[in-house]
Structure 1
Amino acid sequence: MFFGASLSWNDILFMLSGAVTTIAITLASVAIGTSLGVLFGLARAGSPWWISWPIGGILDIFRSIPLLIQLVLFNSFNSMFRLHWPTYLVACLCLGIYAAAFCTEIVRSGVTAVPTTTRRAARSLGLTWFQEVVSITLPMATRIVFPSWIGLALGVMKDTALVLWIGIVELLRSSQIVTTRVQEPLLVLSIAGLIYFLMSFPIARLGAQLEKRWRIQ
């Protein structure tokens, strides 16, 4: 028991299991969002307008609609079309596409920030488009967009709290369940906030250290 409340170690462990679910959804969603974001970002940065604009228009839809509505719609379509996908997969796909909508613009801005003369010089040395992108453009763009990408990853971690609305027991939902039992919302939510902080702080510090190292180089 903690602070005279009926909160037990089993409750803490239950919340930590929810935190593990939060981390798993975050990792999967960020991986999906980053992969799609790099592909779409490169397409938007180097394609003619009749390719770039439709991609941007579609992604604007996902950026504009609140994530909670997207989660509910994705889950409803899953039932409506009888796909029988696990809610965990629905959450990861929805969050991944949502993250991709933002990551695309992050990547596009990084690629367009690479000097055109540098890219032309690489091509003049005989590099193919793929070699130039992998060896020159993406490494330089990564240093530019990395702080924004870290912010996106941390945002996705916090946005995972919304998946409780489609029945997933992540950290916030597990905290609500514990609160219902012990009737100590302030204590339970304070512990949940601390767990969120402990998950987010190392990522933020790692990003700051990498950014500092790259700036020195």
Structure 2
Amino acid sequence: MFATSLTSTDLLFLLQGAWTTILLTLGAMLLGSLGGLLCGLLRASFANATLPLAWLLDVFRSVPLLIQFVLFNSLKSIAGLDWSAFAVACGVLGVYAGAYCTEIVRGGLLAVPASVRRAGRSLGMSYWQELRHIALPMATRVAFPGWLNLCLGVMKDTALVMWIGIVELLRASQTIVTRIQEPLLVLCIAGLIYYLISLVVARLGNQLEKRWQEND
């Protein structure tokens, strides 16, 4: 007969950790998407002039995320910044996501045929009008699958914030495992919650892509 020490309070604790994971993902993707859009536009429009920016973004893509968390958290203390651990986590994850989102946006814009963009300009559109009405809508459809995969990756990367003291889903599950000593059950439940969150995000993304196809 199956018996467990897992209680409803433990399940609620896991759900609270999952909610923290969702909030971290939303905050990081908001920062990363805005920063990535701006940097991606600059990289696509002024490739040579923005080489220093490209090198800086390569640093954030190359250095392991855990090291970035530890370094930024230490620099925050040295600089005397009164930032919460949640703000630090969103900031680091946001910059990390923005570094990848930049290349996603740049790739999407470069995938728009130059002839199409020139046609827009020949119709009398300004650079910004052509960008808004032609280039960005076409680039968005190309870049969206990559952005969606980035979103799912950032959601899983939030597990690393436990190293700076945030109780997200994985940290919550480890806390419960320490108390009841049932790692298989608790980690299976945590994995199921991660899967359900990813499933919802993926389904929403698929629905959006289908609407785009229906409007073509």
TM-score w.r.t. length of structure 1: 0.96
Residue type of the alignment partner of 1:136: I
Residue type of the alignment partner of 1:181: R
Partner of 1:8: 7
Counterpart Cα distance in 1 of 2:114 and 2:2: 62
Q: Decide which of 202, 205, 208 is 2:203's aligned counterpart.
A: 205
Partner of 1:123: 121
Report the Cα offset of residue 214 of structure 1.
Answer: 2.8
Counterpart Cα distance in 1 of 2:88 and 2:128: 33
Q: Decide which of 158, 165, 168 is 1:167's aligned counterpart.
A: 165
Structure 2, unmatched stretches of 5+, are none
Partner of 2:102: 104
Structure 1, unmatched stretches of 5+, are none
Matches within 5 A, 1:40-189: 40-51=39-50, 53-189=51-187
The percent identity for this pair of structures is: 59
Partner of 1:20: 19
Partner of 2:35: 36
Report the Cα offset of residue 213 of structure 1.
Answer: 3.8
Report the Cα offset of residue 110 of structure 1.
Answer: 0.4
Counterpart Cα distance in 2 of 1:73 and 1:126: 50
Counterpart Cα distance in 2 of 1:125 and 1:3: 72
Q: CA RMSD in A?
A: 1.3
Report the Cα offset of residue 18 of structure 1.
Answer: 0.5
Runs of 4+ in 1 over 3 A off after TM superposition: none
Report the Cα offset of residue 170 of structure 1.
Answer: 0.4
Counterpart Cα distance in 2 of 1:21 and 1:48: 38
**How many aligned residue pairs are there?**
215
Counterpart Cα distance in 2 of 1:132 and 1:32: 25
Deviations 1:83-120 (A, max 9, x none): 11111000000000000110000100000110111111
TM-score w.r.t. length of structure 2: 0.96
Report the Cα offset of residue 48 of structure 1.
Answer: 4.5
Residue type of the alignment partner of 1:139: P
Deviations 1:160-216 (A, max 9, x none): 000000000000001011111111000000000001011110111222233244345
